[in-house]
Amino acid sequence: MKKIFIILFIFLFSSISFAADIKVEMLNKSADGKIMVYSEDISRIDVGDTITWVPTTKGHNVEFLAGPDGWEIPKKSKMNAEYSYTFKIPGIYFYQCTPHKVMGMIALVVVGDDTSNKEAISKVKVFAKGKKKLPELLNQLK
- The residues of the shown chain that bind Cu ion, judged by CB under 5 A, are 60, 97, 100, 105
Q: Which is nearer to Cu ion, 26 or 66 (CB)?
A: 26
Comparing CB distances to Cu ion, the nearer of 105 and 110 is: 105
User: Closest separation between CB of residue 57 and Cu ion, Å?
Assistant: 9
Element (H, E) at 89: none
Smallest distance, Cu ion to C-beta of residue 121, A: 20
Cβ neighbours of residue 116 under 8 Å, at least 6 residues apart? 91
Residue facing Cu ion at closest CB distance: 97
CA pair distance 128, 138, nearest whole angstrom = 17
Q: E-strand spans in 9-82?
A: 21-29, 35-38, 42-45, 50-55, 63-66
- In angstroms, the Cα distances linking 39 to 14, 31, 132 are 29, 9, 18
Taking the least distance from each CB to Cu ion, the nearer of 29 and 132 is 29
- Report, in Å, the least distance between residue 100 CB and Cu ion: 3
Q: Is 98 or 115 the residue whose CB approaches Cu ion more closely?
A: 98
Q: In the complex, what is the shortest distance from the CB of residue 56 to Cu ion, in angstroms, rounded to a whole number?
A: 11
**Distance (Å, rounded) from C-alpha 98 to C-alpha 42?**
18
